[in-house]
Every structure is written in C-alpha cells, then in structure tokens.
C-alpha cells in the first residue's frame, strides 16, 4: 500500500466497515457495492471503470475483505477518466443551438436520462438540486455555472 497515505487507509477502513455493517458484519463488502464505496470516499468512477476493476453487475457474485479492497482502491485512484472543464463545455455546446451558453432544462433531463450512464429521475433531481440549477423564464439553464459546480465537488 505504498501509494496510499495513512489517512487514505483510515478513511477507506471507516467506509469499508460501514458498508460491511450494512452487509451483515461478515468482514466482506459485496463487489456490487464497490462503486458506491468509492463514491463515499469522494471519487466518481464510472460503472465501466468499477466493473473493469473488480466490481460486479449483480449482488452476491463476489465479496471483498478489506485487505483485498485496498489494492483495488489504490488502482482505482489512478483512474483519471473524469473529464475536464473543456470536455464538459464542448459536450454542452452540442445542445446549445444558438451559441448563447444555455441548454433547455427539459433537454438536459432527457440527456441525463438517456445518454451515457443513464440516470433515474430521482438521481437527476438530486443532481440538479445539489448544483442549485435555476432555469430562466424560458426553461433554459446556463450550463457553464452547472459545469463549474459539478467539477467543484462536494463542499
């Protein structure tokens, strides 16, 4: 674990133990919950990254003890597939027909629901609430502010 700091290992232990508690205190966390565990540690891996690094698509297929989780965590920390400000701005420009820096709220919801990692309506509502999205009188959202808030991460 040479690349993990003592604080990272301690944080990982606390979150792992919490997930283990929810799973019945058997010393293992189901591999299906690997992505959630990493998100609780402040990371945002895609489902594909999680599945390519030991996560599973169904509960009960595999479990990890803490000692098995740490090397996975260390590897996943190296993943940098999160996108940059420029990447997000370019993606939003695709939907900005008039080049004014806005996307319609309805279109944003549709994109989040149907493209890439498809989100549920509740997940979309939670995200929009978290980043404090405000639609103008015509139902449009200034996407540059949304991108800045998302990339800023949790306060």
d(CA 27, CA 148): 39
d(CA 67, CA 77): 16
pTM equals 0.55
Two domains, one topology: 6-77 and 85-152:
yes
Q: What is the pLDDT along the chain (155 residues), one digit of tens a residue?
A: 457 889 989 999 999 999 888 777 788 999 999 988 888 887 877 778 888 888 888 999 999 999 999 988 888 877 766 667 888 898 899 889 899 999 999 999 998 898 877 889 998 898 888 888 888 999 999 999 888 888 777 65
Q: Would you kindly state where each structural domain of the chain is located, as residue ranges?
A: 6-77, 85-152
Give the class (CATH, top level) of 85-152.
mainly alpha
Fold (CATH) for 6-77: Recoverin; domain 1 (1.10.238)
């Amino acid at each position: 674990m040479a690349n993990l700091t003592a604080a990272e290992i301690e944080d990982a232990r606390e979150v792992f133990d919490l997930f283990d508690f929810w799973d019945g205190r058997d010393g293992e966390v189901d591999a299906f919950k690997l992505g959630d565990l990493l998100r609780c540690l402040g990371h945002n891996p895609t489902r594909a990254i999680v599945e390519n690094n030991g996560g599973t698509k169904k509960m009960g297929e595999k479990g990890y003890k803490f000692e098995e989780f740490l090397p996975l965590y260390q590897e996943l920390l190296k993943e940098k597939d999160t996108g940059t400000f420029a990447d997000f701005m370019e993606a939003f420009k695709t939907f900005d027909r008039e080049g004014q820096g806005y996307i319609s709220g309805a279109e944003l919801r549709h994109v989040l629901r149907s493209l890439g990692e498809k989100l549920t309506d509740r997940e979309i509502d939670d995200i929009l609430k978290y980043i404090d999205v405000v639609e103008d009188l015509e139902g449009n959202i200034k996407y540059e502010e949304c991108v800045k808030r998302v990339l800023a991460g949790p306060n």
